[in-house]
Amino acid sequence: EVVAAGRELFAINVVKQVNKYLEKGLPERAAVLKQALLDYYQIRKKLDRDQFQLNELIGAYESPALATAP
């Protein structure tokens, strides 16, 4: 339960930080990296809040592949 609580808190903090970056913008170097990653992996897609939903971030840990990872 302690690990699950830590994962949930981590996910909450990720969502909060993403929202701050979406509102205020990324630092310059991070913005360059973000754009390079989007250009390579997700052409014609942008970063938005819909990609960082709390229930999806927490639910990812319940995947069987992740549950057995060390």
- Structural domain for 14, as ranges: 2-67
Count of domains observed in the chain = 1
pLDDT value of position 60: 64
pLDDT value of position 13: 93
CA 27 → CA 4, 24, 54, 56, distances in Å? Answer: 31, 9, 23, 26
Q: How confident is the model at residue 62 (pLDDT cuts 50, 70, 90)?
A: low
> pLDDT tens-digit profile of 5-51?
788 899 899 999 999 999 999 999 999 998 999 888 887 777 788 88
Q: Which two tokens stand for residue 54?
A: 């709390």
Q: Which two tokens stand for residue 40?
A: 């390579």
pLDDT value of position 58: 75
